[in-house]
Structure 1
Amino acid sequence: MGREMAQSKGAQGTQAQGEPAASGTAGARHPGRRWRPYTAAVVAVAAVFAGSAAIGAHVRSGKTTAFKAPSGLPSAGPESLAIPVRPTVPVTLTVYEDLRSRASRDFARAYAPTFDALLRSGQVQLAYRLVTQSDTEHGGTGSAQAANAAACAQDQGKDQFRDYVAELWRKQPDPSSDKFASGAYLIRLAKKVKGIQEAEFTPCVQERDHQGWVRRSQQQFAAAHLGDVPVVDVNGRTYSVTGDKLTPAKLRKLVAAAVKQAQGTTPSAAPSPSASGQRAAG
């Protein structure tokens, strides 16, 4: 992506001031049973904490399925799954990438100058779809957790999203490692990004506020059978970076053809997309 881009409050068991005296009285009458009131109190407090923990787990579980788009995105429709960099232009260039994937990282770095040039042209908006293929391939949840954290950064602004993703690329572990599954690690990386407010970012990561959004993005990506990431969509036509042998030069030609078509003119030599390129994104 380069440059472009509650707490479960355990109830505090309190005892009335008069209870110890009552226990003492009971103990005097039944010496062998003096421990029972205290045991009952411990069990009661443990039950309260266990109930609180269960409620907290239920809330966290709900957030992994509830759909909550990051700030700045529509709440419904295909666009709600893509994080845009610049709106209202003739061509939308959507990049599907996996934050745990080496291929996605290398693509983001290699194509950063091309993306910058296309954005400067004023004819292209760039959007990112975060998917989690590598979690299925390697096991674990690192890709999903990193995508949720990136969405938490987006809550604070597109610059924060761009810079946080760039930091994830810099610190990306080997795909066989699930280091991104650590919320503490993802929060630590955010401290290096200017503008991210830790007080808002930390609970968003810990409670996985956007996990349902991440899950929906991956489900739609898989259902569309778009192949391995990275995948690029140009105004509704998708291209596999490897399968279609995409290059920066070819991408610029695809965008130029899409611009002409959007402006109502017939492109002189529109590239022929492969079978995968004919599928609609999302």
Structure 2
Amino acid sequence: MSDKNREGKRTARERIAVERERQKARERRRRTLIVGASVVCVLALAAVIGVIAANTGEDKPDTSGPVAAPTGASGQDSLVIPVGQDTARSTLTVWEDFRCPACKNFEDTYRSTIHELTEAGKLRVEYRLATLIDKNMGGSGSLRAANAAACAQDAGKFTAYHDVLFANQPVETDDAFADNSKLIELARKVDGLVTPAFEKCLNDGTHNSWVAKSNEAFEAGGFGGTPTILLNGKNVYADQQNPLTPDRLKQMVEEAAKA
């Protein structure tokens, strides 16, 4: 074998060796990036868990006191906040959680229709409050907002404040409603609601035990989640074969009013 051929083979082997080293280096860098990304994901998850833990670890509202129903509450154990005339031929039962995004979607879609029907005397709405998101996400915003809404009911301004809370609902992971000052800030959007009596009711958690009892009734009812919407006792919102729409709700209520 000539010196030229031997030199060519040696050069080829060297090129192959160099390429192998390059591949090994790329593989090491790839593994480093994967490990680094995994660490970032774990740290991000830890941050989320930390936020939830912080919410869960805050001072929880006391629900061990006597059950004080808000003014005008009705139904079994006075757990219903009624809106509309008793003579209405149709009753819409609305189970809601003020932190629930799906509840906000329902309210944004049906609010004007419900107001129209209640003001016309054709529909009576029974609002029933739950604290499902507090249980699932941690925190106390569902309970505190529900207590504040009950305090608004004492002042005769439940509907307006109820609508303000949903219109200004924070994202599900943000327990902003756990801050009473935030609830008071939003109450200022309702004319005449913020009074010493309202603030005392809110800060004292006057209706906390009532809210807790309402949530117990929700859990005992075996409902799949919030919102749960019943028209004259029938779950009309969960019917996937015949989905509810504002026009269909209006049609059903008006037909009942004519019957």
The TM-score normalised by the length of structure 1 is 0.64
**Structure 1 residue 67 corresponds to structure 2 residue 64:** no
Letter in 1 for 2:69: A
What residue in structure 1 maps to residue 166 of structure 2? 169
The 3-state SS of whatever aligns with 1:240 is: coil
Measure how far apart 1:166 and its partner are.
2.1
Q: Which runs of 5+ in 2 are unaligned?
A: 1-58
Q: Please tell me whether Structure 1 or Structure 2 has the larger radius of gyration of its CA atoms.
A: 2
**Aligned partners of 1:226 and 1:240 also within 8 Å:** no
The 3-state SS of whatever aligns with 2:236 is: strand
Residue correspondence of structure 1 range 184-263 to structure 2 within 5 A: 184-241=181-238, 245-256=243-254, 258-259=256-257
Per-residue displacement from partner, 1:141-199 (whole Å, max 9, x unpaired)? Answer: 11011000010111100xx2122222212321111111111112212222232111420
**Aligned partners of 1:71 and 1:154 also within 8 Å:** yes
- CA 1:64/1:185 → structure 2, altered by over 3 Å: closer, same or farther? farther
What residue in structure 2 maps to residue 156 of structure 1? 155
**Aligned partners of 2:90 and 2:253 also within 8 Å:** yes
Per-residue displacement from partner, 1:175-227 (whole Å, max 9, x unpaired)? Answer: 11111111122122222321114201111111110011111111111111121
Letter in 1 for 2:68: K
RMSD: 2.3
Aligned residues between the structures: 198
| 1: CA distance, partners of 2:236 / 2:212 | 22
| 1: CA distance, partners of 2:167 / 2:193 | 17
Letter in 2 for 1:212: S
Measure how far apart 1:65 and its partner are.
4.1
Structure showing the higher helix proportion among its residues:
2
The 3-state SS of whatever aligns with 1:146 is: helix
Task: Answer with 190-199 or 237-246: which moved more.
Answer: 237-246
Measure how far apart 1:257 and its partner are.
5.6
Measure how far apart 1:87 and its partner are.
2.6
| 2: CA distance, partners of 1:239 / 1:64 | 35
Residue correspondence of structure 1 range 112-127 to structure 2 within 5 A: 112-127=111-126
The 3-state SS of whatever aligns with 2:229 is: strand
Per-residue displacement from partner, 1:37-56 (whole Å, max 9, x unpaired)? Answer: xxxxxxxxxxxxxxxxxxxx
What residue in structure 2 maps to residue 273 of structure 1? none
The TM-score normalised by the length of structure 2 is 0.69
Measure how far apart 1:135 and its partner are.
1.0
How many percent identity over aligned positions?
38
**Aligned partners of 1:234 and 1:254 also within 8 Å:** no
| 2: CA distance, partners of 1:256 / 1:163 | 24
What residue in structure 2 maps to residue 37 of structure 1? none
- CA 1:113/1:193 → structure 2, altered by over 3 Å: closer, same or farther? closer
Measure how far apart 1:240 and its partner are.
3.4
Q: Which runs of 5+ in 1 are unaligned?
A: 1-56, 264-282
**Aligned partners of 1:191 and 1:198 also within 8 Å:** no
